[in-house]
């Protein structure tokens, strides 16, 4: 094989490796962008508008509202920091979610204020993940007139203390 042909093959071979590495880098970058579905969650007291930091958030997700209500993806638990902010990474297959304070010894006694009172304690609102990521969502506060404005990637929800009769029923 002539020397010029060998040099040309080496040049093509070297460029192919460089092109392949560039494609691999771009594909990894694109995959990373698709999996970054992290939202920031803030739970506020419905009367004061101040963050509640003593409770974990329980997050349920699903492909759709119908699938979420019939089984959804198992809940995730997120502990907020001292400012009341918690971060949750949501699965790629999920399109909707709902959030509330975890029911347990440290957080017993909160009711979400985005629920209608006459529809029972487990009537939840489901929110589109894409909307939270693109513009942010502040859940309605049906317990008082306090309001909040969410930033892109942020979900804010209000809670109120459970009444004595609600604690007794649950």
Residue-wise pLDDT tens digits, 42-90: 999 999 999 988 778 888 888 887 766 666 567 888 888 989 899 999 9
Check residue 10 and give its pLDDT.
65
Check residue 93 and give its pLDDT.
85
Tell me which range, 5-14, 29-38, 95-104, is most confidently predicted by mean pLDDT.
Answer: 95-104
Check residue 30 and give its pLDDT.
47
The pLDDT tens digits of the residues spanning 128-158 come to 999 999 999 999 999 999 999 999 999 999 9
The pLDDT tens digits of the residues spanning 8-32 come to 556 556 555 544 444 444 455 444 4
Q: Which residues contact 76 (CB under 8 A, 6 or more apart)?
A: 58, 59, 61, 88
Strand order in the sheet with 96-101: 73-78, 57-62, 96-101, 127-128
- Which whole-number Å values give the CA distances from 3 to 8, 17, 76, 122, in the listed order? 9, 21, 63, 78
Q: How far is it, in rounded angstroms, from Cα 141 to Cα 46?
A: 7
């Amino acid at each position: 094989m002539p020397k010029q042909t060998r040099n040309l093959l080496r040049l093509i071979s070297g460029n192919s490796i460089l092109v392949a590495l560039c494609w691999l880098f771009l594909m990894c970058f694109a995959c990373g962008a698709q999996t970054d579905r992290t939202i920031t969650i803030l739970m506020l007291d419905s009367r004061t508008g101040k963050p509640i930091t003593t409770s974990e958030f329980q997050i349920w997700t699903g492909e759709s509202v119908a699938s979420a209500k019939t089984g959804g993806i198992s809940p995730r638990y997120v502990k907020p920091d001292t400012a009341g902010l918690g971060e949750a990474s949501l699965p790629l297959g999920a399109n909707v979610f709902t959030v509330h304070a975890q029911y347990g010894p440290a957080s017993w006694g909160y009711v979400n204020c985005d629920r209608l009172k006459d529809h029972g304690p487990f009537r939840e609102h489901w929110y589109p993940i894409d909307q939270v990521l693109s513009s942010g969502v502040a859940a309605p506060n049906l317990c008082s007139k306090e309001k909040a404005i969410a930033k892109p990637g942020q979900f804010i929800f209000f809670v109120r203390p459970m009444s004595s009769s609600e604690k007794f029923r649950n």
